[in-house]
């Protein structure tokens, strides 16, 4: 993963040519990874349950490009995008989702529990809001050790109503922790619209109630996320304490694979794909500015497509865990 030092911008954009291509590669990898899972899960190739991050790529990329392996993140049940943006190996991730021994967690975590502590990825989590208190612990460790690392918790708009999340906002404020709480507001808590489930008009109001600064950004705009995330992360590193970042975004698939999405308005999916595709918006802006060419983006598209195909084939060829593996990795040996 790149370090957190700002790059020299080329022209009107806040990142230089190479970093813009890196951002595009992250987003394209997430999108192709998720689109392939959508197909393979529908064919019955993948065990367990799957929640896809497609459509939300700009938020993961915009935040994670400020982080290094020492920084810690806690993800959600919709965690593939966070994993990829944080630098977790794509081939290992695919094997994990297929339940194979070559997976990131030896096939024992599956889609909702991928983790890679070497990359600062503390894990996707099937329990709503459970990552917030974990990040308080990670942020406390960073503060005590003095290495200026940060902890970032991701929750959806539904999980933001969990007591663990609200308690974590309070704890982080009381202890002045280097923690950032990211609310990925895609408009639906499973099938319930945000307006029906959240009393506050803005998550910034909730942050204010706990003494935290907060900001709301367009989560489909990579540059809006990147700049806002850069500010709150830099503030946390320098001892300024916790913040809340709300990213308003869209998801291209259902809450889970197999979701009939009867709660969606007619034509909603077609509209958001046509008008709010964060990758298309990003590519149009960087090529329009003359900093990146379409040929360079096309080359990344081809490389990512090859990577995803290779990851799928490796996952299919890998062995399943044996019955004896059930009793391994249960306890840590100190």
- Rounded to 5 degrees, φ, ψ at 156 are -90, 175
Domain for residue 274, yes or no?
Answer: yes
Would residue 117 count as lying in a domain?
yes
- Taking only the tens of pLDDT, the chain with its 334 residues reads 334 333 444 457 899 999 999 999 999 999 999 999 999 999 999 999 899 999 999 999 999 999 999 999 999 999 999 999 999 999 999 999 999 999 999 999 999 999 999 999 999 999 989 999 999 999 999 999 999 999 999 999 888 889 999 999 999 999 999 999 999 998 888 877 777 778 877 889 999 999 999 999 999 999 999 999 999 999 999 999 999 999 999 999 988 898 888 988 899 989 999 999 999 999 999 999 999 999 999 999 999 999 999 999 999 999 999 999 988 888 877 6
**Number of domains the chain is built from:** 1
Q: From CA 184, how far away is CA 229, in angstroms rounded? A: 13
Q: Could you list the beta-strand ranges (E) of 231-285.
A: 243-248
Count the alpha carbons within 13 Å of 53 in the hemisphere toward its beta carbon: 34
**Measured CA angle at 290 (ends 286, 292), to 5 deg:** 55
Rounded to an integer, what distance in angstroms lies between the CA atom of residue 10 and that of residue 179? 31
Record the pTM. 0.93
Is residue 264 domain-resident?
A: no
17-42 helix and 90-97 helix, angle to the nearest 10 degrees: 20
Beta-carbon contacts of 288 under 8 Å, excluding residues fewer than 6 positions away, are none
Whether residue 207 is contained in a domain is answered as: yes
| In-domain check, residue 238 | yes
Indicate the Cα dihedral angle 196, 199, 202, 204, nearest 10°: -140
**Domain residue limits at 115:** 17-256+270-315
Q: What is the CATH number of the domain that holds 53?
A: 3.40.50.970
- Strands 192-193 and 188-189, bridge-based pairing: antiparallel
Whether residue 263 lies inside any domain: the answer is no
The whole-angstrom separation of Cα 56 and Cα 221 is 10
Which CA distances in Å does 320 have to 97, 99, 314, 315, 323?
12, 7, 12, 10, 10
**Residue 1, domain member (yes or no):** no
Query: Any residues with CB less than 8 A from the CB of 104 and at least 6 apart, and which?
Result: 83, 88, 89, 92, 93, 95, 96, 114, 115, 116
Q: Is residue 323 part of a domain?
A: no
């Amino acid at each position: 993963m790149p370090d957190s030092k700002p790059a020299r911008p080329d022209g009107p954009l806040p990142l230089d040519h190479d970093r813009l291509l890196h951002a595009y590669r992250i987003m394209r990898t997430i999108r192709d990874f998720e689109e392939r899972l959508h197909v393979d899960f529908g064919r019955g190739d993948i065990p367990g349950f799957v929640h896809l991050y497609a459509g939300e790529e700009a938020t993961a990329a915009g935040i994670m490009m400020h982080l290094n392996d020492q920084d810690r993140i806690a993800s959600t049940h919709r965690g593939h995008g966070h994993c990829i943006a944080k630098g977790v190996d794509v081939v290992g991730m695919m094997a994990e989702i297929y339940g194979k021994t070559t997976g990131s967690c030896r096939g024992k975590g599956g889609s909702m529990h991928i983790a890679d502590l070497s990359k600062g990825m503390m894990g996707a989590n099937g329990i709503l809001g459970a990552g917030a208190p974990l990040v308080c612990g990670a942020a406390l460790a960073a503060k005590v050790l003095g290495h200026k690392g940060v902890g970032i918790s991701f929750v959806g708009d539904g999980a933001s109503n969990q007591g663990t999340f609200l308690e974590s906002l309070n704890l982080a404020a009381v202890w002045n922790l280097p923690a950032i709480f990211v609310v990925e507001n895609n408009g639906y808590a499973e099938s319930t619209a945000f307006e029906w489930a959240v009393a506050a008009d803005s998550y910034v109001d909730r942050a204010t109630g706990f003494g935290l600064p907060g900001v709301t950004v367009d989560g489909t705009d990579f540059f809006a996320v990147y700049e806002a995330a850069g500010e709150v992360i830099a503030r946390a590193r320098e001892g300024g304490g916790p913040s809340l970042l709300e990213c308003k975004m869209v998801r291209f698939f259902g809450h889970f694979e197999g979701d009939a999405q009867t709660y969606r308005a007619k034509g909603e999916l077609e509209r958001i794909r046509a008008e709010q595709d964060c990758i298309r918006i990003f590519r149009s802006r960087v090529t329009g500015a003359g900093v990146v060419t379409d040929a360079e983006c096309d080359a990344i598209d081809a490389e990512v497509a090859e990577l995803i195909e290779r990851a799928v084939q490796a996952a299919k060829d890998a062995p399943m865990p044996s019955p004896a593996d059930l009793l391994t990795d249960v306890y840590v040996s100190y």
